[in-house]
Amino acid sequence: MSKIEYEKDYYSWLLETAYLLEEGRFSEVDVPNLIDEIESMGKSQKRAIESYLKVLLLHLLKWKYQPSYRCGSWKASIRNSRWGINKRIKESPSLKNYPTEVIEECYKIARENAADETGLPVAIFPNSLEFKIKEVLDDAFLPNI
């Protein structure tokens, strides 16, 4: 098998790397790029949780502060975001506390996005998160005014 360059054909590089590992041909593996890929995979799990958490918080704020606009798509977004967070935690239990670690940072972005999307002044939304993390991740929780 020819040595495929990581930068020129990523997918073929992945296939070749898997083949070399499976065959036990470790001395032929592109170790520096493999290390980068493994580290990147861990970071992508964290980024996915952050992304889902921002969307979840955004829709919880919209649900609470624009009750007359509540719709099925908001509820679906809330459900899908919770599912995405829970799926990543189930796949990587060591990330169980990660939502708690980043929730305040995610809330700040969600708060500003909620103001942008609703047209309401940002001051309407509390400066700090008013929901508990347990509520945020609870499938049955929807905030009321």
Instruction: Quick: pLDDT tens for 20-32.
Output: 999 999 999 999 9
Q: Name the 3-class secondary structure at 80.
A: helix
Mapping DSSP onto H, E and C, the string for 118-137 reads HCCCHHHCCCCCCCCHHHHH
Position 115 pLDDT exceeds 90: yes
The pLDDT tens digits for 44-99 are 999 999 999 999 999 999 999 999 999 999 999 999 999 999 999 999 999 999 99
Q: Which domain holds residue 54?
A: 46-137
Q: How does residue 124 score in pLDDT terms, banded at 50, 70 and 90?
A: very high
Q: Is residue 40 in a domain?
A: no
Q: Is residue 7 in a domain?
A: no
The pair of three-digit structure tokens given for residue 74, joined into one six-digit string:
């908001």
* pTM as predicted: 0.84
Mark out the alpha helices in the chain (DSSP H runs): 10-22, 31-65, 72-91, 98-118, 133-137
Q: Is residue 127 in a domain?
A: yes
Contacts of 79 (CB under 8 A, 6+ apart): 139
